[in-house]
Amino acid sequence: MTPSDQPLVEIDRLTVGFPSTEGWIHAVSGVSLAVARGETLALVGESGCGKTLTALSILRLVPPPGQILSGSIRFDGREITTLAEAEMRLVRGARIGLVFQEPLTALNPVLTIGWQIEETLRVHRMTTPDPRARALALLAEVAVDDPARRIDEYAHQLSGGLRQRALIAMALACRPALLIADEPTTALDVTVQAEILNLLMRLKVKHGLALLLITHDLGVVAQTADRVAVMHAGRIVEEAPVRTLFRTPQHPYTVGLLREAARRVTR
């Protein structure tokens, strides 16, 4: 595991299920993963394979009536699955940041961007003499143009790329150790996609973050990841360093994903 041998987050045989009239349906089944500080792990697979649900499990945000049925999730040496909710709130959003797939729905439409960043600081009791100045600094750090103007704007006044940058600023507000980015470039044009990915990589290096990148796009994986875990039908079917996986994929599903990605490039 690179660059640190000690995992920051370690998932061991995680199973997540939803109840049905015939018993539990396993949406995530026996998943094991680890991410080290300073490392980018890409969790890749088609829509509906369980990627997002795995990430939400780390945050203990599995949507009801779903439940974590078995397995272990350790973050910085602590078992997440057994923490009291009050303790979990100190981890969620503070030690672990989340960049959502749809920034327009993740941001509150009736509150300014600046207010939402400041509220993140207040909720997690981050001591700062001037929350607005901290919000301005965060917007500048994520390369929002004219942060002094943007801080008082609403989500609908921003482009898709600026909304995503604002979400990243909120995720970084409490200086997390782990950043989970769930399809962070969905619905953005190619140029903005590249800018957001480059931004995430710069921030990872600057802050020594562990980055869990959830995506269906192998092009994104090739540009950003240190290691790749391929997910299919709720299970991890292959995991390898990114270059190894692209050169010598082992699982037929991985081979199929790479072939389909190559076909899209040549069209």
262 contact partners, CB below 8 Å, separation of at least 6: none
Percent of the chain with pLDDT over 90: 84
Helix pair 160-172, 131-141: axis angle to 10 deg: 120
| pLDDT the model gives residue 4 | 57
| pLDDT the model gives residue 128 | 76
Torsions phi, psi for 111 (to 5 deg): -120, 145
Which stretches of the chain score pLDDT less than 70? 1-5, 127, 266-267
Residue in the block written with tokens 């290691």: 227
The CATH number for 1-93+211-266, chosen from 3.40.50.300, 3.90.1150.10, 3.40.50.150, 3.40.50.1860, is: 3.40.50.300
pTM of the model: 0.94
For 148-158, the pLDDT digits (tens) are: 999 999 999 99
| pLDDT the model gives residue 6 | 84
Element (H, E) at 115: helix 113-123
For 77-125, the pLDDT digits (tens) are: 999 999 999 999 989 989 999 998 888 888 999 999 999 999 998 888 7
115 contact partners, CB below 8 Å, separation of at least 6: none
What does the domain layout of the chain look like in residue ranges? 1-93+211-266
Neighbours of 209 (CB within 10 A): 24
- H helices of 24-82, in order, are 51-58
| pLDDT the model gives residue 172 | 95
